[in-house]
């Protein structure tokens, strides 16, 4: 355990402990490009993509907003020249793009990818073993009374800071499952209200995200017809997120964006427990190898993945494993509710830790300022968690630590042809008054700079 203001603390840890923004990068000596069993995992990512395709006709029937895409739940890839100017990334440092998961239909956040995938996988396995479905069938059968009666015997539950709960609750209740979402005290009231309005049982817990997950897990273990979607440990969630990499590859190709040694791709992903950004970073690293450089973004109060990376590199001696942000005296309190997680997922760390280039932290004020800049420059409406990606180019190209890392990797000369991709991870369903509050805080910060 580190004690506040310990004079023996290395300067980096002290900055982290004082909740000031930092950029941590992995040195070339620590870097590895191999995750054990990566090729097997990539086969499963392809299977996840095929599962989404099999379910698409059913999803189009269940959700009118998917009629236009034929049941495909995807988000656009957008050029962001105006936001690039607003965040002060000069054109000679590359081009800024946005992967707009804040607009993902059905659940309105990146958590839809994993959450929906896992519930579909569970529904598919139940239907196959009950003889309600055979290989090659039209999955619209699963909207029929027989399948619904079968699903209605099961409870699907999850522990969540909010957005995973929204996606699980919405898809599970649409298929006819009973759905329960265990939420932490810091989960937003509107997210709870939205779930209750869809008939989802919301169980509130006094503690943080970890406590909500543990309570949900324990409750479902006692229910023989219970299925728990485990945000900290689920491979199915991880694979659902990872499938996004395959779609992004076709979007980049369609937009004429090259990714190779002379055209590096930097991707900035808001991180909570690490599953969503981990799955995507894993998929991208399998597709683009050394030419993609993924960074995770965390609130200054909740740098759990950063601590896990440091511990993995032997930089946190004496801290219990796996480390928690509370060990550093941090409080895990932030407006970025989706990222308010004290301890990283070990599954995500094991799968993607070796591929990650670095992690940086962001103050809540900066999240709000970037949220306002994004509305005023590109007209896009996101929640605070989703703004964490925009500090990436600033940290990488505008800080001493970032430039030193770029130089050490031999990437500086390639910056003019680089792509910077900020992943905006949520926001579609934020109510008007809530958003206005974020916006006015952000605008007053921008006006004061
Ligand atoms: C908007 C948003 N962005 C990013 C994340 C991070 O996902 P993960 O917790 O899997 O790291 C979350 C998690 O809930 C989220 O709600």
pLDDT at 198 over 90: no
Instruction: Give the mean pLDDT of 184-190.
Output: 84
Which residue among 338, 340, 359, 374 has the greatest number of ligand 1 atoms within 8 angstroms of its CB, and so is best to mutate?
338
Return the residue whose CA atom lies nearest to atom 4 of ligand 1.
Answer: 270
pLDDT at 369 over 90: yes
**Is 79 in a helix, a strand, or coil?**
strand
pLDDT at position 22 is 97
Instruction: Give the mean pLDDT of 71-98.
Output: 98
* Å from CA of 240 to ligand 1 middle: 14
Q: How confident is the model at residue 10 (pLDDT cuts 50, 70, 90)?
A: confident
Q: What is the pLDDT of residues 318-347, one digit of tens each?
A: 888 999 999 999 999 999 999 999 999 999
The count of other CB atoms within 10 Å of the CB of residue 29 is: 6
Return the residue whose CA atom lies nearest to atom 12 of ligand 1.
Answer: 338
Return the residue whose CA atom lies nearest to atom 14 of ligand 1.
Answer: 338
Pocket of ligand 1 contains residue 84 by CB under 6 Å: no
Q: What is the pLDDT of residues 276-296, one digit of tens each?
A: 999 999 999 999 999 999 999
Q: Describe the chain by its helix, strand, coil percentages, rounded to 5.
A: 50, 15, 35
pLDDT at position 28 is 65
Q: How confident is the model at residue 40 (pLDDT cuts 50, 70, 90)?
A: confident
Orientation of helix 235-254 relative to helix 275-288, angle to 10°: 50
Pocket of ligand 1 contains residue 109 by CB under 6 Å: yes
Instruction: Give the mean pLDDT of 257-275.
Output: 98
Return the residue whose CA atom lies nearest to atom 8 of ligand 1.
Answer: 272
Instruction: Give the mean pLDDT of 266-283.
Output: 98
CA distances to 13, 18, 212, 311, 318 from 328, rounded to whole Å, are 9, 9, 22, 13, 12
DSSP assignment string, 331-383: ----S-GGG--SS--HHHHHHHTTT--EEEEE-HHHHHHHHHHHHHHH-----
Give the number of C-alpha atoms closer than 13 A to the C-alpha of residue 50, restricted to the C-beta side. Answer: 8
Pocket of ligand 1 contains residue 111 by CB under 6 Å: yes
pLDDT at position 187 is 83
Q: Of how many residues is the chain composed? A: 449
* Å from CA of 426 to ligand 1 middle: 8
pLDDT at 185 over 80: no
* Å from CA of 162 to ligand 1 middle: 9
pLDDT at 4 over 60: no
* Å from CA of 183 to ligand 1 middle: 14
**Index of the ligand 1 atom closest to the CA of residue 241:** 10
Instruction: Give the mean pLDDT of 374-381.
Output: 98
Give the percent of the chain with pLDDT over 70: 96
Pocket of ligand 1 contains residue 168 by CB under 6 Å: no
């Amino acid at each position: 355990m580190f004690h506040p203001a310990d004079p023996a603390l290395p300067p980096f840890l002290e900055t982290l402990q004082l909740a000031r923004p930092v950029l941590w990068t992995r040195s070339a000596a620590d870097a590895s490009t191999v995750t054990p069993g990566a090729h097997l995992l990539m086969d499963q990512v392809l299977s996840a993509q095929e599962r989404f395709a099999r379910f698409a006709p059913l999803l189009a029937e269940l959700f009118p907003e998917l009629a236009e895409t034929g049941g495909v739940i995807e988000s656009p890839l957008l050029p962001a020249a105006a936001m690039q100017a607003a965040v002060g990334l000069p054109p000679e440092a590359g081009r800024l793009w946005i992967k707009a998961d804040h607009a993902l239909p059905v659940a309105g956040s990146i958590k839809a990818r994993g959450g929906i995938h896992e519930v579909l996988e569970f529904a598919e396995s139940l239907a196959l073993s009950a003889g309600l479905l055979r290989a090659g069938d039209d999955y619209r059968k699963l909207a029929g009374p027989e399948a619904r009666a079968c699903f209605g015997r099961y409870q699907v539950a999850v522990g969540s800071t909010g957005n995973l709960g929204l996606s699980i609750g919405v898809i599970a209740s649409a298929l006819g499952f009973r759905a329960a979402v265990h939420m932490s005290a810091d989960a937003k009231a509107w997210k709870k209200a939205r779930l209750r309005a869809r008939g989802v049982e919301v169980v509130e817990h006094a503690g943080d995200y970890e406590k909500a997950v543990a309570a949900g897990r324990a409750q479902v273990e006692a229910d023989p017809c219970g299925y728990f979607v485990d945000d900290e440990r689920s491979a199915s969630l991880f694979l659902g997120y990872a499938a996004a990499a395959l779609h992004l590859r076709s979007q980049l190709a369609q937009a004429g964006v090259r990714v190779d040694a002379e055209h590096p791709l930097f991707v900035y992903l808001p991180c909570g427990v690490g599953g969503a950004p981990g799955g995507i970073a894993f998929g991208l690293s399998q597709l683009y190898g050394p030419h993609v450089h993924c960074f995770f973004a965390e609130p200054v109060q909740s740098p759990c993945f950063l601590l896990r990376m440091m511990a993995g590199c032997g930089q946190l001696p004496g801290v219990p494993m796996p480390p928690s942000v509370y060990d550093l005296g941090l409080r895990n309190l932030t407006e970025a509710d989706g990222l308010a997680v004290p301890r990283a997922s070990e599954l995500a760390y094991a799968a993607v830790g070796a591929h990650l280039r670095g992690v940086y932290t962001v103050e809540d004020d900066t999240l709000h300022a970037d949220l306002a800049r994004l509305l005023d420059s590109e007209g896009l409406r996101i929640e605070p968690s989703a703004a964490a990606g925009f500090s990436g180019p600033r940290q990488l190209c505008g800080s001493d630590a970032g430039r030193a890392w770029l130089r050490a990797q031999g990437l500086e000369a390639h910056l003019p042809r680089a792509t910077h991709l900020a992943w905006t991870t949520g926001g579609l369903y934020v109510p008007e008054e809530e958003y206005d509050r974020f916006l006015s805080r952000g605008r007053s910060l921008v006006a004061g700079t």
